[in-house]
């Protein structure tokens, strides 16, 4: 069932995303094309820099639009008129939620891939040769310092974290929208309020933590800096694992809230 | 005839407003039942509860012995009172969608009915008129071989010719062992096909009788009785 739901979720989002991808890749190709006419003339400088700025704006917009499209899909498919069909399909709430989560992760991966590809296209010319050489040198130094085994685990930890964080980035907004459905009226308004409330709670918790730190003469940042200077390889693993645990806890919290509300408190308008 | 739907002390509140107040009734299979009541009487709330789109505050609903969930969604075909299909989809895509999710969906029947109405399977839903969209929604719902069809205001807002088509589609396409619950306030259009009538007023079921019993006991048609009961 998740496979079927996912098929339609992906179709709905990629209808728009493919257009955005074509625009971004087209801008990258334009930038690369201009590099063939490299010169010191003013027209070249203006057109090259403009296309580069356009590409950067395009990539930023693509990242933002991916998130917006995913959140909009969640809202439209579940809480607008479409919800009458979605919630009368013979699918459990778990299946509905996993379809949305997997769709979000797949779309974000696709967007990151297109972003990387567009940067690769734009930066593959002679103009960026120094940047590549610098990056290659840094990577070589890093591998020599940490070793292949550590590098492999860093990559695995990084990938796991990125996948969960990608899901979290959309689930935060989905959860706010779901909580907003508890209101009888102004449901989107409540969702916006919930977003800001959770933001303020996080700020307050951060401040409380800093106060406690100060009261007990304890500096977390100093501790981290110390660990990274004494045992950098191990500290990076600890940091990676803690990041995974933190994002997984957030994932579980968002999932629990959404499932609970959709299962027990669904009130479609 | 076996019991298909049971509501026990069903209550639904929206804040201080009680939309359904300890509603109790049962429906048998093999019947066409009219859920009749004025605007705001609780018809749509009851229908949404049957379909699991709302959660009751008190009481419970049993459809074929089970509470609303995946099991009941497999056997209940629902037509909401608003346009619920994805507008960007083509007719053939939405038929494929129903085919993917409902094991009891009959695609040949759906496409045959749409061809009969001259609705091409290659057109996008957004290009169809309101009446044609309603016909497509109804055809999709009635093309399921369900145990219970729940139709919320299927004939409201369409011209009389379309209304006739919708009524004939309902009569000709439902499984005789299934039941059809039709919510409407356009009683005269539908009275001739109803077996039972369920009057709902201010969240209470005020009458549940067969149409024949209403006529013989009251000497009035259901439409006449409705106008009398719900007169302002």
> Which candidate in A78, A85, A267 is best for mutational testing of the B interface (most B CBs within 10 A)?
A85
Average pLDDT of the residues of chain A = 90
Residue A26: pLDDT band with limits 50, 70, 90: very high
> Which candidate in A84, A86, A181, A261 is best for mutational testing of the B interface (most B CBs within 10 A)?
A84
Minimum distance, in Å, between the CA of residue B51 and any CA atom of chain A: 7
**In this structure, CATH architecture of domain B3-229:** 3-Layer(aba) Sandwich (3.40)
Contact across the interface for A88 and B88, Cβ inside 8 Å: no
For the cut 90, the answer to whether the pLDDT of residue A143 exceeds it is no
pLDDT tens per residue across span A86-139 = 999 999 999 999 999 999 999 999 999 999 999 988 888 777 788 888 888 998
The average pLDDT across B158-176 equals: 76
For the cut 70, the answer to whether the pLDDT of residue B59 exceeds it is yes
In chain A, the residue whose alpha carbon lies closest to the alpha carbon of B104 is: A90
Instruction: List chain B domain ranges.
Output: 3-229
pLDDT tens per residue across span A59-87 = 999 999 999 999 999 999 999 889 999 99
Distance CA A123, CA A48 (A): 12
Instruction: List chain A domain ranges.
Output: 1-124, 129-269
**Which segment of A249-258, B20-29, B188-197 scores lowest on mean pLDDT?**
B188-197
- pTM for the full model? 0.86
The average pLDDT across B119-145 equals: 87
**Which segment of A205-214, A215-224, B81-90 scores lowest on mean pLDDT?**
A215-224
Residue A175: pLDDT band with limits 50, 70, 90: very high
Q: Tell me if chain A has a CB within 8 Å of the CB of B97.
A: yes
For the cut 70, the answer to whether the pLDDT of residue B232 exceeds it is no
Looking at residue B46, its pLDDT comes to: 94
Q: Compare CB distances from A8 to B74, B76, B97 and report the shortest one's residue.
A: B97
Strands B179-184 and B17-28: unpaired
């Amino acid at each position: 069932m998740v496979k079927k739901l996912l098929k339609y979720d992906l179709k709905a989002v990629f209808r728009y995303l493919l257009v955005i991808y074509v625009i971004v890749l087209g801008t990258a190709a334009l930038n690369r094309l201009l590099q063939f006419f490299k010169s010191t003339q003013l027209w070249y400088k203006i057109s090259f820099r403009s296309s580069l700025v356009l590409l950067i704006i395009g990539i930023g917009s693509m990242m933002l639009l991916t998130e917006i499209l995913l959140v909009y899909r969640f809202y439209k498919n579940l809480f607008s008129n479409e919800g009458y069909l979605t919630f009368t399909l013979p699918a459990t709430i778990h299946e509905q939620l996993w379809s949305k989560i997997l769709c979000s992760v797949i779309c974000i991966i696709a967007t990151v891939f297109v972003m990387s590809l567009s940067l690769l296209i734009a930066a593959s010319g002679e103009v960026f040769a120094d940047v590549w050489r610098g990056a290659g040198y840094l990577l070589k130094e890093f591998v020599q310092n940490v070793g292949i085994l550590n590098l492999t685990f860093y990559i695995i930890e990084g990938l796991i974290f990125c996948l969960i964080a990608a899901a979290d980035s959309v689930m935060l907004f989905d959860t706010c929208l779901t909580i907003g459905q508890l209101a009888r009226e102004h449901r989107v308004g409540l969702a916006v309020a919930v977003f800001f409330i959770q933001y303020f709670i996080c700020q307050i918790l951060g401040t409380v933590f800093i106060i406690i730190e100060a009261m007990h003469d304890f500096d977390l940042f100093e501790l981290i800096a110390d660990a990274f200077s004494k045992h950098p390889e191990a500290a990076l693993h600890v940091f990676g694992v803690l990041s995974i645990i933190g994002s997984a806890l957030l994932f579980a919290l968002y999932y629990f809230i959404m499932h609970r509300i959709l299962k027990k408190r669904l009130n479609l308008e | 005839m076996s019991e298909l739907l049971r509501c026990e002390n069903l209550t639904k509140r929206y804040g201080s407003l009680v939309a359904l107040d300890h509603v109790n009734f049962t429906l048998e299979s093999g019947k066409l039942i009219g859920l009749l009541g004025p605007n705001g009487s609780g018809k749509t709330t009851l229908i949404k509860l049957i379909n699991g789109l709302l959660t009751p505050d008190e009481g419970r609903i049993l459809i074929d012995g089970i509470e609303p969930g995946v099991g009941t969604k497999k056997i209940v075909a629902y037509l909401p009172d608003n346009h619920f299909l994805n507008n960007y989809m083509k007719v053939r895509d939405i038929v494929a969608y129903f085919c993917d999710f409902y094991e009891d969906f009959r695609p040949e029947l759906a496409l045959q009915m749409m061809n009969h109405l001259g609705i091409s399977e290659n057109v996008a839903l957004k290009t169809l008129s309101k009446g044609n969209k309603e016909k497509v929604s109804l055809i999709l719902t009635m093309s399921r071989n369900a145990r219970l069809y729940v139709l919320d205001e299927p004939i409201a807002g369409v011209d009389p010719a379309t209304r006739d088509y919708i009524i004939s589609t309902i009569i000709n396409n439902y499984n005789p062992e299934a039941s059809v619950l039709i919510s409407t306030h356009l009683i005269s259009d539908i009275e001739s096909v109803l077996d039972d009538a369920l009057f709902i007023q201010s969240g209470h079921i005020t009458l549940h009788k067969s149409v024949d019993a209403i006529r013989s006991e009251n000497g009035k048609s259901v439409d006449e009785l409705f106008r009398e009961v719900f007169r302002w």
